[in-house]
Copies of this chain bind each other. A is one copy, B any other.
Amino acid sequence: SRSINLAVIPGDGIGQEVVAEGLKVLSAVLPQDVKLETKEYDFGAKRYHATGETLTDADLDELKRHDAILLGAIGDPSVPSGVLERGFLLKLRFAFDHHVNLRPSKLLPGVATPLAGQPEIDFVVVREGTEGPYTGNGGTIRKGTPHEVATEVSVNTAFGVERVVRDAFARAQARPRKKLTLVHKNNVLTFAGHLWTNVFNKVAEEFPEVTTDYIHVDAATIYLVTDPARFDVIVTDNLFGDIITDLAAAVSGGIGVAASGNINPGRAFPSMFEPVHGSAPDIAGQGKADPSATVLSVALLLRHLGHDAEAARIEDAVSADLAERGALPARSTSQIGDALAARVAG
């Protein structure tokens, strides 16, 4: 479409700084005839402290009117653990049915990895985003006593698993290697494991060109550090996806360059794009944050909205910038943003 109506949520900590650079690059890459409208929202710790609110129904109604959402980071040590996570981040993913949580991992030339021997890394994790242990099901009895019992219920449905598995097969089919790995723990979590495995095997029949395999989540962490090249597309549960995508980010250049999309593929609701890193309050306001992860999240956003050429221009610009970084003196957040904006414009 020839206009983009974007909700912008800078959020907490370094969120403000990195989102400013993301928008700078977005403005620079868009052709003249694509109209960009942005509206900023003040969700996060400040609003929570001022009003006690994290995300109201009225907020959701407003956000719903946009084509997409760009988020910096939400979270601050002044807010008890879980309040903003469950009250904002997860609430939004669930309300807008972001069932495809997309997290690409690519080790770009010149980028440092903690792994020896600079292995080839180029895979995408398709993490389920609306089920599993993230539903908030469960509870506590006898809280604070020696007899407390707390439960967490992982909820998995054929409907929810099938749609994300199908999405992952389609993504694998579209990539040169056409390989899809299911990551789960079906030898222990046998109820959910059988559901995932059966649905995976059934959908596989529709994609005969895609090679498939299965790996337990514990073994997957081993392969991610000993043989990450074996992965092309991974599909997995919400919690396993949370864990392995942080590890994937670490081995493929760190959370400074890890982008993600919380996607509603049918576009019934706006999708949300955000760097995998958090608000990093320890370095906030100092111009030290790397905006690359946010800029790459903008590329995912553009691709979701059909602006593939612009998405590719951004990805190329980030690659080129990272490749040259070793030779340059350290730059501030906005200097990196300026450099990327210049590259995509040029």
Contact = CB atoms under 8 A, between A and B. Distances in A.
B157 A149 contact: yes
A125 interface: no
Given A140-B194, A153-B153, A85 B188 contact: yes
Size class of the A contact interface (CB-based, 8 Å): 35 or more
A266 interface: no
Contact of A247 (B155, B192, B222): B222
Contacts of A185: 239, 242
Interface in A103-117: 113-117
Nearest to A240: B243
Given A133-B152, A140-B195, 10 more contacts: A81-B197, A115-B116, A138-B189, A146-B158, A146-B159, A147-B158, A150-B157, A150-B192, A152-B192, A221-B243
10 contacts: A81-B190, A81-B197, A82-B186, A86-B187, A86-B190, A133-B189, A147-B158, A151-B155, A218-B242, A222-B250
A49 to B, nearest CB: 18
Given A145-B158, A156-B150, A194-B150, A81 B187 contact: yes
A208 interface: no
A170 B134 CA distance: 33
Contacts of A61: none
A255 interface: yes
Nearest to A219: B246
A149 B155 CA distance: 7
A297 to B, nearest CB: 18
Contact of A191 (B152, B186, B217): B152
A100 interface: no
Contacts of A143: 194
Number of copies: 2
A247 B142 CA distance: 35
B82 A190 contact: yes
Contacts of A319: none
B193 A218 contact: no
A114 B114 CA distance: 9
Contacts of A255: 222
A305 interface: no
A335 interface: no
A195 B148 contact: yes
A226 interface: yes
A305 B221 CA distance: 33
Contact of A193 (B81, B187, B243): B81
A158 to B, nearest CB: 4
A151 B159 contact: no
A144 B265 CA distance: 25
A309 to B, nearest CB: 33
Contacts of A221: 221, 243-244, 246-247, 250
Contacts of A159: 146-147
A36 interface: no
Contacts of A139: 191
A284 interface: no
Nearest to A189: B152
A159 B244 CA distance: 30
A219 to B, nearest CB: 6
Interface in A202-259: 217-219, 221-222, 224-226, 239, 242-247, 249-251, 254-255
